[in-house]
Structure 1
């Protein structure tokens, strides 16, 4: 992630796009031979990103924990062996809480900054984890998950925004890409914690209460440490707090150099784009006002649907049903597979995200959808043959598990790290909170479908349900190919050129004539 001096090149569907020279980030990057980890200001900034990353870790913990609990006889006994819609309601309890938070989260991000929503959301997550641990019946467990969903959405909306808006320009793609990878850290921990507590005994309720309580550990760390991070300079400029924004950029991007050309450049870009946006209303209707914004709207709805509707929902929340369908019914066996999958996902997602800037977003989306489709087709065929043979051929069941791991490899390549990078890049500052909220709403609608349709369909038609996802993934490939432009090589402000053309810079220049040369002094 060391700064470099090469001029960025980027393409939109293989068509080069020129960036005006005055908007070229590469010309103002400091010339230094030191890697970022030997520069104190960048080291502190990048390590601080762990705090917002923990929102993703908590989210991943939840999905894997519920998978583990469903494979535990202690939890099944405590809540009456829920199936069908009762099981779906527990999975969707988090979603019910998120729905209640939808109108609140973007307002908090726009009016209180990025840190406070992380703080208050994490505090609610701690409360929800305590209630979940203390649950005495089905209703109390469901309510606790609603509290977790409410707080979780507020923290999750603000966290990647803070990472994206605070990161050093050339580090941003990788840092934002790592955000969603930390989902797997939570998943890994929950998988092996539930595996360990399972052996506490068949009648010990603490076997599921301990994993439930530990869901509040990472949010507690965020409550304690989130204010060690500075506020987003883009939010500060949006609130006309120019001096504070410049101090943040000077300290964390320039190492205290008050005459840094990079800081002047960043302040100029941020101020010009936000000043232009303030002259028009930035409500949700803004997404319908121009062709570029309609294109953005299509992307921010499509990407979360791809993240949740590519068949991964079956693995994330109903792995035990998949394993039951291929003859792997032992509780310890299922817990070990769940834990192994978590370790695999965490490792490959970290490795793949390191190559995100070299490969580009669009190419990774295409590779991901093609690979997932191939894996799902083979997975479906093996499951069908396995059922026809009465689950007596263990090799077929093992083949399905191999395909699940291969599927996760391709899923991680394009639908784990790249989505948050892509979404924060295509959305301008004044629409980022609302656009992120639209993304979460679209994601929630799909998760609701997954929560109710997946367990019912798996019980009813077993492997035949996989055919639906084969068709969905094929449609996703077509959408990416025709509708997703490449954003590699642009700063957050420069991405507007892809969607709005030369007008993105022309309007700003016209509206700010006479002011541009003085912006570096703000």
Structure 2
């Protein structure tokens, strides 16, 4: 559709700026409304990107506790082990220039398709690995494809979801990380008992990493494209058709669809007329600088809060407190993933009730308290020569409590928050910046954590106590609340009334109304 038709779209949209005013007054639960049920179930496909990511982290953790894998790769330690952990990251680095371009020019579904296809190929090569180098290369392919799929998936969920479901549905995205972690943990536990001399004990979990990406390859084109991407590409009719079908049960005169189309169009057109879409836009206004700070801080908080030790080096932690049995470590890893999955889903369900900022604060203060106690218990346990098993058990309890606090804010909230603070025209590039920051943090985790744990043991925890204390202050002073606002109206928190360009009078009323929703 051309520019003339687009102008008509804006002119004839109703002068209604309150989301509450246009929502259907229907008490029927969403799961009894076919269009919403189909829409929400379709989110499972992009969710699988997170599930695959979780499978990878837990699988490598489980493999490190398997004598079969250790024998196959000559018991890697230090930087050699760190390179295997960072093999995925090396692949992600190569994908950084490609992923946002694909999202901006090819939509959200194609990147999920091509990224998942590469993941399937990487999983097959990982299973067939004959030596250290081949295993490392396969993990680089997995990282390359995984980053492309991961960048597009939460954007598709956020931009496609029904307005009142967006927060919770996006929060579930990262929560499903633990479903993959759970499956990997118990798969490696089961295959461990195949025998100490069979490489299939680690090859089977490696091959199964390609199962969820295969489902995405097969089914991703059965779900609709992002209407915001379509508007950005001037495909207004296609965007309206999707919103009409999935948000309004096929009603072509739905006030909700009119409202959404007007808000999306005004936001994107204002951005086109007042700013560009390159990375330098993050440095051209106070609001965008604030956004840049947030999208760098959030992934750093996700990866540098001590969770990297648990995610990739749990076996080193357990060794440091005297829990050295392979089956024992695998059971703890499996139990932790079950706990994490249920806690994360529960916290995600509270997203719109508690708000984003409050969950961040609860998470950071809780993690700090747990890490302090964890550090003290580990120190005393070492001084007593690991003879007091109750201290070791206390550390395990602190790990579980820490994970509870972590999941409250660092698992369910980040993707919701980052996609909300970024405007549509910068969302793909902002998400890429987030991934780059996360990768830098993961590189640190991959190399520094195993070396530091082997060198200074529990004393390394003190570093994370200090880091988490800084995070508490950052959230308190720099993270605004975005609860109760549409994607477009969040821009007002950063850009003021100018976020709506030439419709400032109407926009002002809209901001006031949305704050009451």
Q: Aligning the two structures, in what range does the TM-score lie when normalised by the shorter sequence? A: over 0.9
Question: Matches of 1:309 and 1:23 in 2, distance apart?
Answer: 41
Give the alignment's Cα RMSD to 1 decimal.
1.1
Q: Counterparts of 1:314 and 1:507 in 2: how far apart (Å)?
A: 50
The 2-side partners of 1:35 and 1:393 are apart by 54
Separation of aligned partners in 1, 2:114 and 2:69: 30
2: CA distance between counterparts of 1:471 and 1:396? 23
Equivalent position of 2:264 in the other structure:
270
- The residue aligned with 1:238 is 232
Residue equivalent to 1:216: 210
Alpha-carbon distance in structure 1 between the residues aligned to 2:121 and 2:344? 30
Q: C-alpha separation between the residues in 2 aligned to 1:33 and 1:160?
A: 28
In the other structure, the counterpart of 1:410 is 405
Is 1:295–2:285 an aligned residue pair? no
Displacement, 1:506? 4.2
The question of 1:396 aligning with 2:376 is answered no
Does residue 308 (structure 1) correspond to residue 307 (structure 2)? The answer is no
Task: Give the whole-Å Cα distance in 1 for the aligned partners of 2:455 and 2:119.
Answer: 35
Q: Distance in 1 between matches of 2:40 and 2:313?
A: 35
1:481 to 476, 481, 490: 476
- In 2, are the aligned partners of 1:369 and 1:410 still within 8 Å (CA)? yes
Unaligned runs of 5+ in 2: 1-14, 508-517
SS at match of 2:28: coil
Deviation string 1:422-459 (CA, Å, 9 cap, x unpaired) is 00100000000000000000000000000000000000
The answer to whether structure 1 residue 26 and structure 2 residue 7 are counterparts is no
Question: Once the two structures are superposed, what CA deviation does each residue of 1:366-394 show, in whole Å capped at 9, x if it has no partner?
Answer: 01000000000000000000000000000
Q: Which moved more, 1:447-456 or 1:503-512?
A: 503-512
Structure 1 position 505, deviation (Å): 2.5
| CA deviation map 1:127-167 (0-9, x unaligned) | 00000000000000000000000000000000000000000
2:223 maps to which residue?
A: 229
Alignment of 1:135-154 (within 5 A): 135-154=129-148
Task: Quote the Cα distance in structure 2 between the aligned partners of 1:192 and 1:82.
Answer: 23
1:338 to 327, 330, 333: 333
Q: Report the equivalent of 1:450.
A: 445
1:420 and 1:460, CA in 2 relative to 1: closer, same or farther beyond 3 A? Answer: same
1:117 aligns with 2:111: yes
Partners of 2:426 and 2:352 in 1: how far apart? Answer: 24
Q: Residue 497 of structure 1: SS of its match in structure 2?
A: helix
What is aligned with 1:7? none
Partner of 1:127: 121
Map of 1:372 onto structure 2: 367
SS of the residue 1:488 aligns to: coil
Return the alpha-carbon distance in structure 2 between the equivalents of residues 304 and 345 of structure 1: 19
Unaligned runs of 5+ in 1: 1-20, 513-522
Q: Which string of whole-angstrom CA distances, capped at 9 and with x for unpartnered residues, describes residues 81-122 of structure 1?
A: 000000000000000000000000000000000000000000
- Any idea what SS the aligned residue of 1:231 has? coil
Deviations 1:482-508 (A, max 9, x none): 000000000000001111112213445
Residue-by-residue CA offset, 1:307-347 (whole Å, 9 max, x unaligned): 00000000000000000000000000000000000000001
Q: Spell out, residue by residue over 1:181-200, the C-alpha distance to the aligned partner (whole angstroms, 9 max, x if none).
A: 00000000000000000000
The aligned residue for residue 176 of structure 2 is 182
Tell me which residue corresponds to 2:188: 194
Q: What's the TM-score once normalised by structure 2's chain length?
A: 0.94
2:156 corresponds in structure 1 to 162
CA distance in 2, matches of 1:95, 1:57: 17
Q: Which residue of 2 aligns with 1:282?
A: 277
TM-score, length of structure 1 as denominator length: 0.93
Query: Which one of the candidate residues 41, 46, 64 is aligned to 1:52?
Result: 46
Q: Deviations over 1:276-307 (max 9, x none)?
A: 11223110000011100000000000000000
CA–CA separation in structure 1 for the residues paired with 2:198 and 2:328: 20
Residue 236 of structure 1: how far off its partner (Å): 0.3
1:254 equivalent in alignment to 2:248: yes
Find the counterpart in structure 2 of residue 41 from structure 1: 35
- Measure how far apart 1:511 and its partner are: 13
Number of the residue aligned with 1:66:
60
Cα–Cα, structure 1 residues 508 and 101, in superposed 2: closer, same or farther, change >3 Å?
farther
CA contact (8 A) 2:270 2:501 kept: no
Partner of 1:326: 321
| Alpha-carbon distance between aligned partners in 1 of 2:502 and 2:335, rounded to the nearest angstrom | 53
Q: Which residue of 2 aligns with 1:12?
A: none
Provide the rounded CA distance (Å) in 2 between the counterparts of 1:422 and 1:24.
22
SS in 2 for 1:502: helix
Asked whether the equivalents of residues 17 and 506 of structure 2 are also in contact (C-alpha less than 8 Å), the reply is: no
Are the counterparts in 1 of residues 50 and 150 from structure 2 also a CA contact under 8 Å?
Answer: yes
After TM superposition, the runs of 4+ consecutive aligned structure 1 residues lying more than 3 A away are 506-512
CA positional deviation for 1:23: 2.8
Partner residue in 2 for 1:18: none
8 A contact 1:23–1:494 mirrored in 2: no
Q: Deviations over 1:162-185 (max 9, x none)?
A: 000000000000000000000000
For residues 397 and 461 of structure 1, the distance between their equivalents in structure 2, rounded to whole angstroms, comes to 18
